[in-house]
Structure 1
Amino acid sequence: MLAVQERPAETRAGKREWWGLAVLMLPVLLISIDNNVLSFAIPSLSQALAPSGVQLLWIVDIYALILAGLLVPMGSLGDRIGRRRLLMIGSVGFGVLSLVAAFSVSATMLILARALMGVFGAMLMPATLSLIRNIFTVPSQRRVAVAIWAAGFSGGAALGPIVGGVLLEHFWWGSVFLLSIPVLLPLLIFGPILLPESKDPSPGAVDILGVVLVMGSMLSITYGIKTFAHDGVVPGLPIILAGLVLGTLFVRRQLHREKPMLDVRLFRNPIFTGSISANLLSLFAMVGFIFFLSQHLQLVVGQSPIEAGLTMLPGLVLTIITGLAVVPLVKHLKPAYVVAGGLLFNAAGYALVFFAGESVTVMELVVAFLFLGVGVGAAETISNDLILASVPPSRAGSASAISETAYEIGSVLGTAVLGSILTSAYRTHVTVPDGLSPEQAASAGETLGGAFDAAQFLPAESASALLHSAQAAFDSGVSLTSLIGVLVMVAAAAGAVVLLRKAPAGH
Structure 2
Amino acid sequence: MTFEARTETDHGPPLAGAKEWTALAVLSLPAMLVIMDLTVLHLAVPHLSADLAPSSSQLLWITDIYGFLIAGFLITMGSLGDRIGRRKLLLIGGAAFGVASVLSAYATSPEMLIGARALMGIAGATLMPSTLSLIRNMFLDDRQRTTAISLWMMSFMVGGSIGPLVGGALLEVFWWGSVFLVGVPVMVLLLVAGPFLLPEYRDPRAGRLDLFSAVLLLAAVLPVIYGIKKLASDGFGWLLVAAIAAGLVFAVMFVRRQRSLDDPLIDIELFRNRAFGVTLGVMTTATFAMMGLNLFVMQYLQLVHGLSPLRAGLWVLPMTGAMMIGMMAAPLLVRYVRPGYVISGGLLVSSAGIVLMTQIDGSSGFGVLITGTCVMAAGFTPQAALGTDLVIRAAPPEKAGAASAASETGNELGGALGLAILGSVGTAVYRSGMSDSVPSELPGDAAAAAGDTLAGATAVAATLPDAVGGPLLDAARAAFTDGLQATAVVSALAVLAGAVLAAVLLRRVGTDTGPSGDAPPSAVDPAAEVPVP
Matching of residue 12 in structure 1 with residue 15 in structure 2: yes
The separation in 2 between residues aligned to 1:129 and 1:27, in whole angstroms, is 11
Give the equivalent residue in structure 2 for 1:504. 510
Between structures 1 and 2, the one with greater helix share: 1
2:362–2:477 CA contact under 8 A, matched in 1: no
Question: 1:426-481: per-residue Cα shift (whole Å, max 9, x none)?
Answer: 22222433666654443333322222233333333333233222211111110111
Residue 433 of structure 1 pairs with residue 436 of structure 2: no
- Paired residues for 1:87-126 under 5 Å: 87-126=90-129
Deviations 1:63-83 (A, max 9, x none): 111110110111111111111
What are the residue-to-residue correspondences of 1:138-217 with 2, within 5 Å? 138-217=141-220
Deviates more, 1:218-227 or 1:110-119: 110-119
1:396 and 2:396 equivalent? Answer: no
Residue equivalent to 2:457: 451
Is residue 436–residue 457 contact of structure 1 (8 Å, CA) maintained in 2?
A: no
What is the CA deviation profile of residues 347-386 of structure 1, one whole-angstrom value per residue up to 9, with x for unaligned ones? 1121011134555511101110111121121110110111
Is contact 1:279-1:406 (8 Å) kept?
yes
TM-score, reference length from structure 2: 0.90
Partner of 1:223: 226
Counterparts of 1:245-394 in structure 2 under 5 Å? 245-358=249-362, 361-394=365-398
CA distance in 2, matches of 1:481, 1:11: 47
Deviation at 1:346, TM superposition (A): 1.9
| Aligned AA (1:405) | T
Aligned partner letter, 1:76:
S
Question: Would you say the 8 A contact 1:155–1:316 is kept in 2?
Answer: yes
**Aligned counterpart, 1:422:** 426
Q: 1:423 to 1:46 in 2, by over 3 A?
A: farther
In structure 2, what is the Cα distance between the partners aligned to 1:108 and 1:453? 31
Identical aligned residues as a percent: 45
Give the aligned partner of residue 52 of structure 1. Answer: 55
Stretch deviating more after TM superposition (245-254 or 353-362)? 353-362
* AA at the equivalent of 1:392: P
How far the C-alpha of 1:209 sits from its partner, in A, is: 1.4
Looking at structure 1, the residues matched to 54 and 502 of structure 2 have their Cα atoms a distance apart, in angstroms, of 44
Q: Residue 79 of structure 1 aligns to which amino acid in structure 2?
A: D
Residue 432 of structure 1 aligns to a residue whose secondary structure is coil
Report how many aligned residue pairs link the two structures. Answer: 501
Any idea what the Cα deviations from partners look like across 1:87-136, whole Å, max 9, x if unmatched? Answer: 11111111111111112222222222212211111111110101100111
Change (3 A) 1:389 1:440: same
Distance 1:434 1:111 in 2: 42
Cα deviation for residue 418 of structure 1 reads 1.1
Unaligned runs of 5+ in 2: 1-7, 518-533
The code of the aligned residue for 1:328 comes to: L
Q: Is residue 353–residue 479 contact of structure 1 (8 Å, CA) maintained in 2?
A: yes
Please give the alpha-carbon distance, in whole angstroms, between the structure 2 residues aligned to 1:325 and 1:361: 29
1:37 to 28, 35, 40: 40
- Determine which of 414, 417, 424 is the counterpart of 1:413: 417
Post-superposition offset of 1:161: 1.9
Among 71, 74, 77, which residue is 2:77 paired with?
74
Residue 198 of structure 2 aligns with an amino acid whose one-letter code is L
2:288 maps to a residue whose letter is F
Deviation of 1:182 (Å): 2.0
Supply the distance in 2 between the matched residues of 1:433 and 1:42 (Cα, whole angstroms). Answer: 32
Q: Is the 8 A contact 1:346 1:376 kept in 2?
A: yes
The residue that corresponds to 1:3 in the other structure is none
Question: Mean Cα displacement is larger for which, 393-402 or 33-42?
Answer: 33-42
User: Which secondary structure state, in structure 2, belongs to the residue aligned with residue 18 of structure 1?
Assistant: helix
Instruction: Provide the rounded CA distance (Å) in 2 between the counterparts of 1:465 and 1:107.
Output: 41
- Counterpart residue number, 1:464: 470
Q: Distance in 1 between matches of 2:65 and 2:469?
A: 35
- Whether the 8 Å CA contact 2:227–2:241 is kept in 1: the answer is yes
1:137 equivalent in structure 2: 140
SS in 2 for 1:151: helix
Q: Distance in 2 between matches of 1:114 and 1:432?
A: 40
5+ residue gaps in structure 1? 1-6
- The letter for the 2-side match of 1:167 is L
**Pair 1:420–1:14, CA change in 2 (3 A):** same
Partner of residue 484 from structure 2, selected from 472, 478, 485: 478
By how many angstroms is 1:168 displaced? 1.5
The separation in 2 between residues aligned to 1:398 and 1:263, in whole angstroms, is 9
Aligned pair in 2 of structure 1 residues 78, 491: CA closer, same or farther (>3 Å)? Answer: same
Q: Give the residue type in structure 1 aligned to 2:314.
A: L
Change (3 A) 1:358 1:390: same
